Amino acid sequence: MKQFESKVAVITGGASGFGKEFARIGASLGMKLVLADVQEDALDATIAEFKAQGVPVIGLRTDVSRAEDVQALADAAMTAFGEVHLLFNNAGVGAGGLLWENTQKDWDWVLGVNLYGVIHGVRIFTPLMLAAAAKDPAYQGHIVNTASMAGLLNPPAMGVYNVSKHAVVALSESLYQDLSLVTEQVHCSVLCPYFVPTGISQSQRNRPAGLANEAPPTRSQLVSQALSDKAVHSGKVTAADVAQLTFDAIRDESFYIYSHPQALETVRQRMEDIVGQRNPGDPFGDKKEVRAGLIAALRG
């Protein structure tokens, strides 16, 4: 996709972090915006901000884990603007801790948002984009699924999150292959950011009451949260930087989008472990102090 003016972008998680930065770039390029977020007050404020700038925008409170919410979002987008050209399956949450300490509710929450949110977006919006392509030879569409470097690595005490993001990478690669069988007009990418200052480390603020744990967090969950907070808030690459990289990739029809290409060395080592049939290596690479600190904190 080379031209963005007057095109329609649907963005989940659109009221903060990457989603809001996608919206800002889209608005600067003359796009029409359909914003979705589960945090209604933040969504309302974001919509008001764009309306004040004269941007054509609508918003809908959306829990992407619910298929009916994503369907309602698609219906609203089509009613308001008639087409969808860009889809950002971006909403995400985080949870950590030792894998066996995660509850059923932890799994339901994280997989519901991180994985099923993308599944619902792909399942509901892709047919709309393909139908638009069939009607108009000039139509161009693009889907961006937000995964993570945790979709290419398996750092410890992040198992639920890792599983969800590995699944998003696999889903996105499969989508890329499937689209290539039927069209040259709709493309997709997978975004794999590393530690970037966004609101994801505080995503518990939007956890549904029905999926809240009754017991307090375990030691490993508290340690994981503290490490995540520190890593995210110390990140030098901003959400705005990542959003610009993403729009550049859309223009170039590039599939993999990385915020920190230097982290790919650890991905390469993991792949070599797999091909060489070696036991998994240290996902922290040469940062042995991180692993040592984690062990010390967990063993007390």
> Can you give the residue ranges of every domain in the chain?
8-299
The mean pLDDT of the chain is 94
φ, ψ of residue 57 in degrees (nearest 5): -150, 140
The burial class, CB within 10 Å (0-12 / 13-18 / 19+), for 38 is buried
Among 116, 139, 161, 194, the active-site one is: 161
Buried b / exposed e over 57-84, threshold 16 CB at 10 Å, is bbbbbbbbbeeebbebbbebbbeebebb
Range 8-299: architecture per CATH: 3-Layer(aba) Sandwich (3.40)
Tell whether the model's pLDDT for residue 8 goes beyond 80: yes
- Concerning whether 161 is annotated as a catalytic residue, the answer is yes
- Which pLDDT value is given to residue 201? 66
On whether the CB atoms of residues 85 and 33 are closer than 8 A, the answer is no
pTM of the model: 0.95
Task: For the beta carbon of residue 285, count every other beta carbon within 10 angstroms.
Answer: 17
29-84 tens-digit pLDDT: 999 999 999 999 999 999 999 999 999 999 999 999 999 999 999 999 999 999 99
